[in-house]
Amino acid sequence: MDLRITCIPGDGIGPEIVAEAKKVLDKVAEKYGHQMKYTDILMGGASIDAYGVPLTDEAIATAKAADAVLMGSIGGNTTTSPWYKLPPNLRPEAGLLKIRKALNLFANLRPAYLYEELAGACPLKEEISSQGFDMLIMRELTGGLYFGERKTIEENGVKKAIDTLTYDENEIRRIAIKGFDVAMKRRKKVTSVDKANVLDSSRLWRKVVEEVAKDYPEVTLEHMLVDNCAMQLVKDPAQFDVILTENMFGDILSDEASMVTGSIGMLSSASLNDTKFGLYEPSHGSAPDIAGLDVANPIATILSASMMLRYSFDLDKEADAIDAAVKKVLQDGFRTGDIMSEGCTKVGCKKMGDLIAERII
């Protein structure tokens, strides 16, 4: 199988971690008889330096011509970098918003998995963390409060800010279908999170999700109010499989879930459109202070590559091979500095990539 992948190395540690993900993908291709075809484009600060804008139309066209996009990280030090003296629409992060819009990436998937070997980093009580957890938050990414009409006005001498939360049934239906499709690849349970006791948008959300659920009789659906979900994430995270929710709730809950794992350097993510196309990236930032030092943790990017194989190419066996290789490396006691613990062997970014590639079987 030919896999056409556009790579965005980005800024900071981005080029280093993308290189290690490509190393692992190449090993998968060798073992399973695939052909990886990479094309690099610039985005973020690297694109600003080269072209004066965070993302060019030519780069977008290249991304659209691929089957999937694998990204490192973008941005720099917001206080010292000249990129952040530019107008907001010309700063590095504007490139990410632009590519999401151009590629219609409406579904954000962020797994939160507690590796047994890293349980000590989990901030929860041992009686909770010992149960382990493996969840995926499916967040609607292009609608809701963040994209609604907003304005600040003055009434009777008093300033008033107005933000509008809007969803239509088609926006809800397409993210719900993605959520149930992903649940079919996992443990077949969806927890739909809303605020239906207060919000009209949530009542419509719940109605449409229930309609979609009828097409997935194998999947168990439950509804949960967002405030209860926030509590349950720290009380009993093992109960969750796929959490399906709207934009703002997903933004908050996914950050909470990432902290429960204890290590953001291990967290992958994906943003999908209504085809198999997706953009895959680590959840962490560009860490410019350690760029070029060969100390970055590439595992989140490698796991993002695994998600790419699973969701854009339906190569579940190959994705499982990457996931198993990461777990084996941790079982064998190898750690980058951010996840280092007593009794383990500290390695750099390149060595971690080598070790994972070696364990692809």
| Per-residue pLDDT at 265 | 78
213 and 245 fall within a common domain:
yes
What CATH number corresponds to the domain at position 190?
3.40.50.2300
Shared domain for 204 and 274, answered yes or no, is no
Considering the domain architecture, whether residues 278 and 229 belong to the same structural domain is answered as: no
Domain count, the chain: 2
The residue annotated as part of the active site, out of 134, 251, 323, 354, is 251
- Parallel, antiparallel or unpaired: strands 134-140 and 107-113: antiparallel
**Domain annotation covers residue 117:** no
CATH no. for residue 323?
3.40.718.10
* Active site (annotated) includes residue 255: yes
Q: What is the pLDDT along the chain (361 residues), one digit of tens a residue?
A: 999 999 999 999 999 999 999 999 999 999 999 999 999 999 999 999 999 999 999 999 999 999 999 999 999 999 999 999 999 899 999 998 899 889 999 999 999 999 888 888 889 999 999 999 999 999 999 899 988 899 999 999 999 999 999 999 999 999 999 999 999 989 999 999 999 999 999 999 999 999 999 999 999 999 999 999 999 999 999 999 999 999 999 999 998 998 898 777 788 999 999 889 999 999 888 999 999 999 999 999 999 999 999 999 999 999 999 999 999 999 999 999 999 989 999 999 999 999 999 999 9
Catalytic position from the list 185, 189, 195, 328: 195
For residues 348-361, one letter each, b for 16 or more C-beta atoms within 10 angstroms of the residue's C-beta and e for the rest, the string is: bbebbbbbbbebbe
Domain contains 15: yes
Active site (annotated) includes residue 195: yes
Question: Is 236 in the same domain as 134?
Answer: yes
The verdict on residue 149 lying in a domain is no
Q: Is 198 found in the same domain as 185? A: yes
In a domain, 153, yes or no: no
Among 224, 245, 261, identify where a domain stops: 261
Return the structure tokens found at 277. Answer: 């196309």
**Domain boundary, last residue among 228, 261, 294:** 261
- Do 127 and 92 lie in one domain? The reply is no
Contact 288, 16 (CB under 8 A): no
- pLDDT for position 283: 87
**Last-in-domain residue among 261, 287, 316:** 261
Question: Quick one: pLDDT at residue 316?
Answer: 94
Q: Does a structural domain hold residue 148?
A: no
Q: Is 217 exposed, middle or buried (0-12, 13-18, 19+ CB in 10 A)?
A: exposed
Terminal CA-CA length for the chain:
18
Do 236 and 322 belong together in one domain? no
Active-site choice (49, 57, 215, 227): 227
Q: Is 146 a catalytic residue?
A: yes
Q: Is residue 41 part of a domain?
A: yes
Let me know whether 191 and 211 are in one domain. Answer: yes
Q: Is residue 115 domain-resident?
A: no
Q: What gap in Å lies between CA 345 and CA 340, rounded to an integer? A: 8
Answer yes or no: is 353 within a domain: yes
Are residues 211 and 253 part of one domain?
A: yes
At 110 the three-state DSSP class reads: strand
Looking at the fold, whether 130 and 229 belong to one and the same domain comes out as yes
User: What pTM did the predictor assign?
Assistant: 0.88
Clarify whether residues 303 and 251 are in a common domain: no
Q: Are residues 254 and 281 in the same domain?
A: no
Please state, in angstroms and rounded to a whole number, the distance separating the CA atoms of residues 284 and 292. Answer: 17
Beta strand residue intervals within the chain, DSSP E: 2-10, 35-40, 68-73, 107-113, 134-140, 150-155, 158-163, 189-194, 220-225, 242-245, 268-272, 278-282, 334-335, 345-346
Look up 227 and say whether it is catalytic.
yes
Considering the candidates 32, 38, 84, 146, report the single residue annotated as catalytic: 146
Domain hosting 282: range is 1-108+264-361
